[in-house]
Amino acid sequence: MGKRLEGYAVLVTRPRDQAVGLCTAIAAEGGRAILAPMIAIRAILDPKHCGAVIDRIEDYGSIIFISRNAVEFGIEQIRQHDKALTGQTIYAVGVGTAASLRKLGVTDIATPRGEFTSEGLLKLDGLQARKVRGGKILIFRGAGGREHLARMLESRGATVDYCEVYERIVPDIRVADALAEADISVPDIGVITSLDSLNNFADKIDDEGLDLLFDMPLLVVGSRIANEVGKLGFTNPPVIVDNPNDDNVIDTLARWVMDEI
């Protein structure tokens, strides 16, 4: 069986330390991975209100982790406060987030099926009004995340608090330098796994005068990001993947190469 991405160049915009697996998988399938991180993640060293919230973590009946980064930095904060997850119902927005929790010793986790978003979480039985009314829910997330999940849970009668444990920043890189190093002007397709990355990428294209990249097809995660692609000036309809783990991204790229999407 031939390599499914043979001869194709793929621009990867994930944070550098989270892109290694995908870049390796692209190369294993014969493709060229061009890494140009459009977002970087760093811990918030003194999370606002987080310490006080974690000190009374046992008051929360449900705890939601909104991303892998929320797991990494959230569990670290919990441990620094000599606390543990004991007795709460734990929710993860997707299978990758759940896998990160399991690596850190959390085993009983509820995760949406097929729709790895806040909307998917809100469909879970344990987060319906009859289950959450009068209860307290804690959400671990990055700074400035969406409010939809909390608002919906509050409308169902829950009290919701946040613990914001990381922030997203724009890396100090030039897309033109990454392309020059790869000796390519326009990759065959780009992979965008967050709305922040998409916005930052569009800004970089404008700032660096790389208008041809607006014609590059994009593989994006979920319909919410897909809906923004055309608004930002990209000319091709996006290829959509719902689960952004490496295997699904590679399989979707391969289907795109075979013109099956």
Left, alpha or beta for 30 (phi > 0: left; psi -120 to 50: alpha)? Answer: left
Q: Are residues 103 and 137 part of one domain?
A: yes
Q: Are residues 214 and 160 part of one domain?
A: no
User: Phi and psi dihedrals of 184, rounded to 5?
Assistant: -145, 145
The answer to whether position 2 is within a domain reads: no
* Domain finish residue from 138, 168, 198: 168
The answer to whether position 3 is within a domain reads: no
pLDDT reported for residue 169? 92
Sheet with 32-35: list strands edge to edge.
32-35, 9-12, 189-192, 218-221, 239-241
Q: Are residues 99 and 156 part of one domain?
A: yes
Q: Are residues 145 and 158 part of one domain?
A: yes
Whole-model pTM? 0.83
Query: Per the structure, how many domains does the chain have?
Result: 2
Q: Are residues 32 and 100 part of one domain?
A: no
Domain that holds residue 33: 9-39+170-257
Half-sphere exposure of 254 (CA within 13 A, CB side): 16
pLDDT reported for residue 21? 95
pLDDT reported for residue 48? 66
pLDDT in tens, the chain (261 residues): 579 999 999 999 999 989 999 999 999 999 999 999 999 999 987 766 788 899 999 999 999 999 999 999 999 999 999 999 988 999 999 888 999 999 999 989 999 987 888 899 999 999 999 999 999 999 999 998 889 999 999 999 999 999 999 999 999 999 999 999 999 999 999 999 999 999 999 999 999 999 999 999 999 998 999 999 999 999 999 999 988 889 999 999 999 999 887
pLDDT reported for residue 220? 97
* Domain finish residue from 153, 168, 183: 168
Q: Are residues 184 and 94 part of one domain?
A: no
| 243: nearest Cα among 220, 218, 261, 221 | 221
CATH number, domain of 139, equals 3.40.50.10090
* Domain finish residue from 100, 134, 168: 168
- What type of residue is 50? C
